[in-house]
Amino acid sequence: MALSGLAHALHDGYTDAIYVLLPVWRAEFGLDYVALALLRGLYAGAMAALQVPASWLADHVGGRAVLILGTVLAAAGYALAGFSGGAMGLYAALLVSGAGSSVQHPIASSAVSRAYGPAARGPLGTYNFTGDLGKAIIPAALSLGLSIAPWRSSLWLLALAGIVVAALLTLFMPRIDPAPPPSASLPRTSRRGGRGFPLLLSIGVVDTGVRMGFLTFLPFLLQLKGASQPLIGTALALVFLGGAAGKLACGWLAQRWGIVGVTLCTEGATALMIAFAAVLPLAPLLVLLPLLGLALNGTSSVLYGTVPELAPADRTERAFAIFYTGVIGSGALSPLLFGVVGDQAGPVVATLGTAAAALITLPLALALGPRLTRR
C-alpha cells in the first residue's frame, strides 16, 4: 500500500506539474492555448493509449517490473524536457514521460484491490488520496523552484526524484500477486456486472474531462485576476490538497451514503463552484479553491472503488486498464476542445463551459443507480 501510494504520488505529481509549466512555456516559446493544451494532451494521450498494453505486459513479465520500468521512463521524459529547445522537443519528451506513467494506474490499483479483496473500496480511496498528495506537493515544489532557478534545472531535479522512487520500488516493492484464473463458479452477478460498467465509464470520462479542462485554464484565470507565478503554484496546491481530502473522504462516504448520492453531491457542487471561480475576485477565489478541489476530485474515488465491483475477479487489471484508458483519454482530448473555446472566447467562457459539462454526469449517475441495486 505504501509503495503503491508513493508511485501514485510521483506519477500524478508529474501529470499535474505540467499545469505550472504552461505559462512558462507560453512565454518561452510563444504558444497559443491550443498548442499548450496539446502539450498536456500528448502526455495524457500516451498514458491513455498504453493502459491496456501495460496490463498485458504485466501479465507476462510481472507487475512489479513494469511499474519500476515505467517510473524510470517517466523520469527520463522530464529530463528530456529540460534539454528541449522548442515546442517539438517538449512534445516528444512529454510523450515519453506519459508512456512511462501509463503503467502506474492499472498495476498499482490492481495490487491494492487484490490485497484488500472485498474490503478494497476504502483502501482504494486512500490510494487515490496519495495521488492527490503528489499533485499538491510536486507542483507547489516546482513552482517554488521556478521562482529561484531556471525551469530546465527544476525539471532535472524533478526527474531525479523519479529515479529515487524507482530505486525504492526496486529495493522494497513486494511481488504483485497475479490475477486468479477464470472460474465458472463466479457469482452470476459478477459476470453480468458489466451492464453497469459502460455507465460508470461514461461518468468517469465526463468527470475527468471537466477536471482537466478546468485545470488547464485555472493558471490563466488566476493571471487575469492578478496572480503572480508563485501564487499560481500555491493556488494549484490548494486545489490539489482539497482534492486529496475529497478522494480520501468520498471513497469511504460512498460505503455509507451510496455511490449515486455521493456522485450527485460532488458533481453538482463542482458545477456550481467552477461557475463561481470564473467570476470571483482573486482573494475569495483562493478561499474557494480547496472546497472546489474536494468536489472536483472526490467523484473519482467513488468511481475507481466501483470498478472491482463491476468486473469479474480474474479481469480486475483489464477493467482498470479500460477505465483508465477512457478517463485519461478524456483528459487528453478535453483540454484541446476547451482550448478552442478559450482561443475564440477567452479563458472565462471556457471555464464556464467546463461547469456546464459537469451537469452531464447527473443523469448518468441516476441511470447507474438501478443497475447497482440489481447487483
154-170: pLDDT as tens digits: 999 999 999 999 999 99
Residue with grid cell 498548442, as numbered in its chain: 35
Does residue 205 contact residue 326 with C-beta atoms inside 8 Å? Answer: yes
235 class by beta-carbon count within 10 Å (0-12 exposed, 13-18 middle, 19+ buried): buried
On the question of pLDDT at 81 being above 90, the answer is yes
Q: Using one digit for the tens of pLDDT, what is the confidence trace for 112-135?
A: 877 887 777 678 778 877 887 887
Grid look-up 490563466 returns: 220
Residue whose grid cell is 501479465: 59
Tell me the per-residue pLDDT of 7-62, one tens digit each, with 9 for 90 and over: 999 999 998 898 889 888 888 888 877 788 788 778 878 887 888 888 788 878 88
Q: Decide if 1 contacts 126 (C-beta within 8 A).
A: yes
Classify the phi-psi angles of 258: left when phi > 0, otherwise alpha if psi is within -120 to 50, otherwise beta.
Answer: left
pLDDT tens digit string along 213-244? 898 889 888 988 888 877 887 888 888 888 87
**And the C-alpha cell for 150?**
531556471
| Average pLDDT score over the chain | 84
Q: Confidence band (pLDDT; 50, 70, 90) for 277?
A: very high
CA dist 117 and 106 (Å) reads: 16
For 120, the 3-state DSSP assignment is coil
Q: Express the helix, strand and coil content of the chain in percent, nearest 5 each.
A: 90, 0, 10
Q: What is the dihedral of CA 260, 262, 264, 266, to 10 degrees?
A: -150
Q: In this predicted structure, what is the pLDDT of residue 242?
A: 87
With a cut of 70, say whether residue 190 has pLDDT above it: no
Q: Which amino acid is at 202?
A: S
- Using alpha carbons, select from 91, 90, 106 the residue that is nearest to residue 57: 106
Which tens digits make up the pLDDT trace of 56-76? 888 788 889 999 999 999 999
Give counts: helices (H), strands (E), the chain.
Answer: 16, 0
In this structure, are residues 354 and 276 in contact, taking their beta carbons and an 8 Å threshold? Answer: no
Domains and CATH numbers, the chain: 1-172 (1.20.1250.20), 195-371 (1.20.1250.20)
Q: Give dist(CA 139, CA 17) in Å, integer.
A: 5
What spatial distance separates the first Cα and last Cα of the chain, rounded to whole Å?
28
Q: Which residue in the block uniquely carries the three cell numbers 500516451?
A: 46
Quickly state the pLDDT bin for 273 (edges 50, 70, 90).
very high
- If pLDDT is split at 50, 70 and 90, which confidence band does 192 have? very low
Predicted confidence at residue 312, as pLDDT, reads 63
pLDDT, position 286? 92
Sign of CA dihedral 8, 288, 210, 197: positive
| Residue tagged 479481469 (cell numbers) | 315
Count of residues making up the chain = 375
- Asked whether the beta carbons of 314 and 190 are under 8 A apart, the reply is no
Residue 186 φ/ψ, nearest 5 degrees: -60, 140
